[in-house]
Chains A and B, each alone.
Chain A
Amino acid sequence: MKKFIGKRAVASAISLVGLVIMVFFLSRLTGDPADLYLPVDASHQAREQFREINGLNDPLMVQFGRYVADLAVLDFGNSIRQSRPAIDVVLAGFAWTLWLACVTMLLVTFAAIVIGSLAAFRVGGVFDRIATFFSLIGASAPDFWLAIVAIVVFAVNLRWLPTSGTGTIWHWVLPVSVLFVRPFGLILQVVRGSMIGVLSSAYVKTARAKGVRNRPIIFVHGLRNGMLPVITVIGDQAAGILNGAVVVETIFGFPGIGKLMIDSILQRDFNVVLAAIMVSALAIFLMNLLIDLAYALLDPRIRY
């Protein structure tokens, strides 16, 4: 196990380095920040001066060398747009996103597993049909619909909840609910599919034949064996939120990393893009490692 984690850490570090190099050079092929940052009326001198101040005139290799040297002392450079250390900007947003992802995925996981297994227990039954129908609609509806309609209904008409922003626990209700819908639909379907397979397998049938009560069958035998694809998809959806729940963040004014990442990419704020990618990559690598460990835990036949 220790050896596995050690090897994994090395491999991940190499991937991270590769990722940073790739992003560093590729992003610099996508146009000049001076064009995007300065007003369109800006003169050529102003553009030239802007590039000089931000060190964008040097050859790419020199810029890269400087970046690596700074990185060695944990200096991620400054944000061009905000004129603050890029890492501060990113971590502030990431803390919010991490919370949002954790809260949402916890709820999603719980709800999807319970409802999905129950649906799988009587395939084609009323409960199964209803659960499938609504989860699919949720999973394929445009997220801004849900967000705007939720605001209009619950904040403007009913006045139960604040429209947007942060501050109290009530402010979290709408963003989390909207964010909940898509992963819930997807994971519920995966749980259901997986459980149908498991429940019709020989050993569950045997257990049923022996007269084991229904619920234990589902939750003990079924879940354990059907969980592998489920936690994989949970990981994928969590990664989606970690990379930024853009629509929810912009509509609800949630200061997460998603909007930050988009703005930084669109305005070529390279240092912030790099810092954001490093932070979210680290989180995603770690999450995938945990998922791989969970495989072994759930299914003792799997060894690394």
Chain B
Amino acid sequence: MTYRLTCASSLLLGALLGSAAFAQDDKAVTIVLSEELELIDPCMASQSNIGRVLLQNISETLAVFEPSTAKLLPKLAESWEETEAGAWRFKLRSGVNFSDGTAFGAADVVHSLERAISDQISCEIGGKYFGGFEIQAVAVDDTTVDITSDPAQPILPLLMSSLTIVPEETPLEYVQTPVGTGPYEMTERNMGTNIVLEKRDDYWGEAPEVAKATYIFRSDSSVRAAMVEVGEADIAPVISELDATNQDTDFAYPNSETTYMRLDHATAPTDDRRVREALNLAVDREAFIGTLMAQEAVLATAVVPPSTAGYNPDLKPYAFDPDRARELLAEAKADGVPVDDEIRIIGRIGLFPNDAEVLEALMAMFKDVGFNVTLEMLEVGEYNTYYNRPFAEDRGPQMVSAQHDNAKGDPVFSMYFKYGSEGQQSGLVYPELDEMIAKATAATGDERAALWSEVMTSIHEEHIGDVLLFHMVGFSRVSPRLDFKPTIATNSELQLSQIGFK
């Protein structure tokens, strides 16, 4: 213990006497993230802060989803085809090496999948994308893999765009040094200080321009913005809207998050459609835009962003109509609906910037049309007990403020969880909707999109599932010496190979 202390202290002393680190390498970039990476295992890359460092920089996937075209492009797999329902054959790229020197092959894909869904290690990718069905990978030969799923997953190749490929030798515990096939490898990691990625010479694809990337961590948005301004950093992928004050360096991008108020369809008074409609009509959504919400935020009509398959552009957000809302409430009251019961708004502290203010404003709007609402801001642990099933029996009337992120282009990652009768965060209980979701989940191609569109329309128009609010935007600050423009993908990854120099 004392040894370590002295060791750290002497390191520190050494650092003290070192020289200022203002000078910048020509082809090196510094990226300032909002939080330290606690784990750096490729199977956790679905966490946005980990993904921004790892995805497509160190770890690659069989396929990549391109949000701008909604297309799935080949990466480590050259092609794929469905051999029978739920069974897919992937042809792998040859001549690819991991950064530890071993060759990439079918066995690595099999191991990566097994590792992600293993019960020996808590992999987020496994739980998030490969839960709820059986999936198995078999190596046919060194460059061919058969992957079967049960029940059949029509979007299996899309799922594979989330699976980071690790070498066959990777143990079933979190690794401290990630190994992948990507254009970069991690050369340094100083806990609490930085992570350094350097370009690999033996990368299989086109060599990127950026030679070295240093990731540092500052939790305060204004500090991140200031660092780019003074040249201590080159990219701050996430800054707050308030700090995005310079048009030349600050970019807004849709961050694929959607905010909404989840309604409880099993408890009075929100079990009454009129009450739910009144809640929707009570909200002056336009008033938020450019005030509490960024100018670029978009009113939502679905819990998934517009770039998602089956998104129905014809749906209109509920207009602000407090008089109609009062009428509906009066009607419901006349029918014996207990509209005067206190409805608790459950908020999660830190869900998004200025969430408390947004909820306070909403509360005032609900009150204005005659609802009896209170606001409770809870810490994550307690909030989850309201947000997730099983809900408490005697929970009473409540609305839960929530935010959902789906950048994968398919509603399957959202609909069951958010709207199925058994869905983990669903306040809805409609068997016919369950069937529609199941049908859409199993469909393919254009039919799939059409079915999803029906599901979302039904939720918005017929059931009035929730009080949908906004598709959110994020802000990045990029140094003027770089040629880089953030996109919707910036929320989950930050490909160094897309960065150029001016």
Contact = CB atoms under 8 A, between A and B. Distances in A.
Quick check: do A and B touch in the complex, using CB within 8 A?
A: yes
Interface of A: 30-32, 35-43, 45-46, 49-50, 52-53, 81-84, 87-89, 91-96, 98-99, 148, 151-152, 155-156, 159, 162-170, 172, 250-253, 255, 259, 266, 268
Given A35-B381, A36-B381, A53-B121, A164 B127 contact: no
B232 interface: yes
B230 interface: yes
Contacts of A83: 39, 41, 173-174, 176
B467 to A, nearest CB: 19
Interface of B: 1, 4-5, 8-9, 12, 15-22, 38-39, 41, 46-47, 119-122, 124, 126-128, 131-132, 173-174, 176, 191-193, 216-220, 222-223, 226-227, 229-230, 232, 379-382, 384-385, 387-388, 417, 424-425
Contacts of B121: 53
Contacts of B46: 39
A39 B403 CA distance: 12
A45 B128 CA distance: 12
A152 B220 CA distance: 13
5 contacts: A38-B124, A43-B131, A82-B191, A162-B20, A164-B227
A161 to B, nearest CB: 10
A167 B20 contact: yes
A36 B384 contact: yes
A293 B307 CA distance: 69
Nearest to A53: B122
Contact of A253 (B1, B173, B174, B216): B216
B99 to A, nearest CB: 21
Question: Interface residues of A: mostly helix, strand, loop or mixed?
Answer: helix
Given A41-B424, A156-B230, A250-B219, A46 B131 contact: yes
Nearest to B220: A251
A148 B224 CA distance: 12
Contact of A43 (B127, B173, B229, B230): B127
A148 B220 CA distance: 9
A95 B6 CA distance: 8
Nearest to A250: B219
A148 B219 CA distance: 13
A168 B16 contact: yes
A35 B384 contact: yes
Contacts of A87: 1
A169 B18 CA distance: 8
A156 B245 CA distance: 14
Contacts of A37: 122
Contact of B9 (A41, A95, A170): A95
A266 B223 contact: no
A163 B124 CA distance: 35
Contact of B5 (A43, A46, A91): A91
Contacts of A31: 381-382
B223 A151 contact: yes
A87 B8 CA distance: 14
Nearest to A269: B38
B358 to A, nearest CB: 19
Contacts of A94: 5
Given A31-B382, A253-B218, A255-B193, A39 B227 contact: no
Contacts of A252: 223
A252 B223 CA distance: 8
Given A36-B381, A92-B8, A169-B16, A163 B174 contact: no
Contacts of A167: 15, 18, 20-21
A81 B38 contact: yes
A39 B19 CA distance: 42
Given A82-B39, A91-B4, A164 B20 contact: no
Contacts of A96: 8, 12, 192
A159 B124 contact: no
Nearest to A282: B1
Contacts of B47: 39
A41 B20 contact: no
A250 B36 CA distance: 11
A159 B231 CA distance: 10
A164 B120 CA distance: 40
A100 to B, nearest CB: 10
Given A35-B384, A43-B132, A163 B1 contact: no
Contact of A40 (B5, B8, B388): B388
A151 B226 contact: yes
A164 B218 contact: yes
Q: Point out which of A40, A159, A162, A268 has the most chain B C-beta atoms below 10 A from its C-beta.
A: A40
Contacts of A156: 226, 229-230
Given A155-B226, A255-B193, A39 B128 contact: yes
A240 B53 CA distance: 35
Q: Point out which of B8, B17, B192 has the most chain A C-beta atoms below 10 A from its C-beta.
A: B192
A155 B230 contact: yes
Contacts of A162: 20-22, 232
Q: Point out which of A87, A165, A251 has the most chain B C-beta atoms below 10 A from its C-beta.
A: A165
B131 A165 contact: no
A166 B38 contact: no
B299 to A, nearest CB: 24
Contact of A30 (B1, B15, B120, B381): B381
Given A38-B124, A164-B218, A95 B8 contact: yes
A275 B120 CA distance: 25
Nearest to B7: A95
A274 to B, nearest CB: 15
Q: Which 9 pairs across A and B sit closest by C-beta, in order of nearness?
A: A255-B192, A95-B8, A31-B381, A83-B174, A46-B127, A253-B218, A81-B38, A35-B384, A50-B122
A91 B1 contact: yes
Nearest to B191: A92
Nearest to A45: B131
A275 B417 CA distance: 38
Contacts of B379: 266
A41 to B, nearest CB: 6
A91 B8 contact: yes
A152 B132 CA distance: 50
A84 to B, nearest CB: 7
A81 B232 contact: no
Nearest to B229: A156
A39 B18 contact: no
Contacts of A251: 218-220, 223
B220 A250 contact: yes
Given A41-B127, A43-B131, A168-B21, 19 more contacts: A32-B381, A36-B380, A39-B46, A40-B384, A43-B424, A82-B39, A83-B39, A94-B5, A99-B12, A151-B226, A164-B218, A165-B193, A165-B232, A167-B20, A168-B16, A169-B17, A250-B220, A266-B379, A266-B380
